Amino acid sequence: MPAKKRALNNVLVTGGAGFIGSNFIRYMLEEAGFLGKIINADKLTYAGDKSNLDDIEEKYGGERYFFTKTDICSREDINRIFKQFEIDTIVHFAAESHVDRSITGPEDFIQTNIVGTFVLLETAREFWAPGEKNLFHHISTDEVYGSLGAEGYFLETTPYDPKSPYSASKASSDHLVRAYANTYNLPVTLSNCSNNYGPYQYPEKLIPLMIHHALEGKELPVYGDGANIRDWLYVTDHCSAIWKILSDGKSGETYNVGGDSEMKNIEVVRGICDILDNIYPVSKNPGSFCKKSYSELIKFVTDRPGHDRRYAINCEKIKKELGWHPSVNFSSGLESTVRWYFKKFSG
């Protein structure tokens, strides 16, 4: 049975100017029925964009939505936020998240993903009295589990086997969160999600990058043979899952969140090309060097080091215990995503 619904009042969202964080804040204030305050703490690195929430700032700013430019590694700044807003809930998105960047420059991943999480945990431990109705929710990734073969799925009990500096840093932060729950009785929940897609994602990730390149007539680089498989989760489905966990999840538990949408990378890229062929044919694109289809731009390139072959999430636990289910299938989600980026990049 799910736990009794929590009353959330002052929610600190770390990394709320990023892709998933900004979608989550919008979901909380516009769709979830949440009536409290959200404090968005974001360092505004290259992947964070405060303008992602301009509409939210205009509608709720100063009353229910507050932004503070903050590095989560700064104990002084996090203490100030806790004191000023009497934080009772943390939703921890802030992280360096791009695998390729972690390979060429791992230090930022260690600092933000591990040290930053430690600072948040220590501050929560200092400010939250035992027995209070608080919650630290930690957002993680299916990449901590390593790579799957052709069959099988990641479960919440799957042993960790990270393969990149990024996934190793996220695995480390997961272990820290669980250690604070066990050692200090800090109320925590964790979620490990599959690949998110949707609006407001920085165009270094596969889907927005391919859309951007295609519209500019650039090559569409696909690693290896393109047969690496990922499960794709529409970002608003992820947001609704987090809301379910915040409201009903059991303290100390981990919940896998997936989209039930396994796809090969090459299938995703070809799907993007097909949608663009329909909404903006190459004949109308003055920047295109294609003759008939954007798929002519696809180029297979040398695979990246340690590229996991397949991720696939089993999310039966959150379905059965909390009643959550993904609502957006990949076909419709991809089309709406392509149309959103087409409008953004061409506008």
Catalytic residues: 142-143, 166
Three-state DSSP class for 71?
coil
Q: Determine the distance from the C-alpha atom of residue 270 to the mean position of all C-alpha atoms in its chain, rounded to a whole number.
A: 23
> What is d(CA 337, CA 332) in angstroms, rounded to the nearest whole number?
9
62: number of Cβ within 10 Å: 7
- Burial per residue of 82-104, b for 16 or more beta-carbon CB atoms within 10 angstroms, e otherwise: beebebbbbbbbbbbbebebbee
Q: Count Cβ neighbours within 10 Å for each residue of 271-304 and write b for 16 or more, e otherwise.
A: bbbebbbeebebeebeebebeebbbebbeeeeee
**What Cα–Cα distance (Å) separates residue 40 from each residue in 49, 94, 245, 257?**
12, 10, 19, 23
For residue 5, the 8-state DSSP code is P
Helix extents (H) in the chain: 19-30, 54-60, 75-85, 99-104, 107-109, 116-127, 165-184, 206-215, 235-248, 265-279, 316-322, 330-346
Which is it for strands 37-42 and 10-14: parallel, antiparallel or unpaired? parallel
Residues facing 233 on adjacent strands: 196
